[in-house]
Amino acid sequence: MPLEPKESEAPLSRRDFLRTTATTAAVAAPYFVPASVFGAQAPSNRINVACIGVGNQGFLDLELFSAQPDCRMVAVCDVNQGSPGYKNPEDVRGREPARKLVEGLYAKQSRSGNYKGCDGYGDFREVLARDDVDAVVVVAPDHWHEAITIAAAKAGKDIYCEKPLGLTIAGQQRMIKAVRDNNRVLQTGSHERSNPYVREVCEMVRDGAIGKVRRVVCNIGRHNKVGPGPGWKPMPVPTNLDYDFWLGPAPEAPYHQDRCLYNFRFNYDYAGGQVTNFGAHSIDIAQWGLGMDHTGPTQIESLYADFLPEGSLFNASTYSDFRCKYDNGVVLECVTAEPAVRCAFFGDDGVVSIDNQGQNATVIPRGLAPEELQKRVKYHSGPDHVRNFLDCVKSRSEPAAPVEVGHRSATVCHMGNIALRLGGKFEWNPKTEKFEGGRSDEANAMLDREQRTTWSS
Ligand SMILES: NC(=O)c1ccc[n+]([C@@H]2O[C@H](COP(=O)([O-])OP(=O)(O)OC[C@H]3O[C@@H](n4cnc5c(N)ncnc54)[C@H](O)[C@@H]3O)[C@@H](O)[C@H]2O)c1
């Protein structure tokens, strides 16, 4: 569906400008140079992209975007100049290694074997101030997604924002507003949306291949890192890292290496543990297969939650089990388990389960046999999601995982965390997006978080 331009004061981006002037020139000016002269490299065809946050996933996204012929990665931005200490502790990442990676990738494609033209920044606002940047990839930790996305939308940039969409339900609503008010394209980085294999499974479920769906089970994975326990000692801030900028909208806190790179996902100030990390994929598939993209459950109940001892740096739940109910009676259960199955749909006539890589589905006992499914759909992942985003930047159409869809899937994850932290059962109104009934005040107070004023949006 094309995005309707609104009568707002949305900024004219470089691409909007090029498109407008190209159209005007084609009609009015005989000296206009047609795009065919430049081919795929024509200024109006090429999408200049900057990647904000170049750590673990940022490096992967850099490679995926740089591989697209009509995309040019013109800038990378990170508050870490460069260091080891990421998911694989030996990997050196951050803005200088990222800049070198990009220039190396383009050098390989150039005749001279040399390439210069990707700039490194420590402050994303300088990236957004560049007129020649069309789109940004937001791959900073979750607590930064809202501020960077809103600033990018206001600056007229299109946005590929990694999953989960935001840190809070209210923050995500503000992101939607900024994206729509400024007529921007936003793709949420839940790449299974562009995996035709998963698409097929979701369509099968919605088309009744397993009869009436009664239950969906989603895996949310275990903590895959160990953090320091109570009594941990702050560490000196490394010179390569602008730690205050890393904290950004989050509360002030003493530095520890396990607070920041990669491990931030286990601390509730910056993320929601594996509930939002893995849940943003598995629960997203559940929402998709159930046809609930623009709504959500009406009830949520914490069944079991485990946390590390008070004072541990990792304070997100280590074991999570919560159950949601939708208005139509379908039950969604999200549970920490070995990640062999990402998401399983149970219906009256069978079961469909998708493995953790989104590469295999098992259909039992009726419907298609797994081999038939394999034949029908060839596995693709990541690059198609990036391709879909770039195509939508050009066509101004809705991408595979628009901001509202990313919001609704992440909302179920955030609701899960709220229930796990408070304990008990809560009623949710997906229209007003508020908890209702007994103890709703407590739960509604967790829809948003205070942000340090310098970064509030
Ligand atoms: N799509 C997927 O499957 C997938 C996989 C992994 C991570 N992710 C998402 O990507 C995001 C980043 O995760 P990660 O594992 O790469 O974390 P990471 O810690 O490895 O990398 C994040 C980088 O962002 C930098 N950063 C922090 N604040 C910044 C700011 N204000 N401006 C610029 N850079 C800043 C950090 O210094 C770090 O280098 C998370 O939201 C995560 O959920 C998505």
| DSSP notation for 261-305 | TTGGGGSTTT--HHHHHTHHHHHHHHHHHTT-TT---SEEEEEEE
CA distance 135 to 152: 8
10 Å Cβ neighbour count for 325?
Answer: 17
- Structure confidence at residue 382 as a pLDDT band (50, 70, 90): low
- For residue 368, the one-letter residue type is L
User: What confidence score (pLDDT) does residue 34 get?
Assistant: 38
- Structure confidence at residue 349 as a pLDDT band (50, 70, 90): confident
User: What confidence score (pLDDT) does residue 54 get?
Assistant: 98
User: What confidence score (pLDDT) does residue 451 get?
Assistant: 92
Distance 58 CA to ligand 1 centre (A): 6
Of 457 and 442, the structure prediction assigns the larger pLDDT to 442
Residue tagged 């390439």 (tokens) = 115
Distance 442 CA to ligand 1 centre (A): 30
Q: Give nearest CA residue, ligand 1 atom 33.
A: 78
Averaged pLDDT for residues 196-221: 91
Q: Give nearest CA residue, ligand 1 atom 17.
A: 262
10 Å Cβ neighbour count for 215?
Answer: 15
Distance 258 CA to ligand 1 centre (A): 14
Averaged pLDDT for residues 354-369: 70
In Å, the largest CA–CA distance within the chain is: 74
User: What confidence score (pLDDT) does residue 40 get?
Assistant: 46
User: What confidence score (pLDDT) does residue 10 get?
Assistant: 57
User: What confidence score (pLDDT) does residue 456 get?
Assistant: 46
Atom of ligand 1 nearest to the CA of 52: 33
DSSP string, 158-222: EEEEPSSS-SSHHHHHHHHHHHHHTT--EEES-GGGG-HHHHHHHHHHHTTTTSSEEEEEEE---
Atom of ligand 1 nearest to the CA of 246: 28
Query: Cis ω on the peptide bond leading into residue 5 (within 30° of 0)?
Result: no
CA distance 192 to 199: 8
User: What confidence score (pLDDT) does residue 383 get?
Assistant: 65
Distance 162 CA to ligand 1 centre (A): 8
Averaged pLDDT for residues 332-354: 89
Percentage, residues of the chain above pLDDT 70: 84
Task: Report all structural domains of the chain as residue ranges with CATH numbers, in order of start.
Answer: 44-190 (3.40.50.720), 193-380+403-455 (3.30.360.10)
Ligand 1: residue of 162, 190, 275 to mutate (most ligand atoms within 8 A of CB) is 162
CA distance 294 to 407: 9
User: What confidence score (pLDDT) does residue 356 get?
Assistant: 77
21-77 pLDDT per residue, tens: 444 433 333 333 333 344 445 556 899 999 999 999 999 999 999 999 999 999 999
> Taking 90 as the threshold, does the pLDDT of residue 7 lie above it?
no
What mean pLDDT is reported for the chain? 89
- Structure confidence at residue 341 as a pLDDT band (50, 70, 90): confident
Averaged pLDDT for residues 254-279: 97
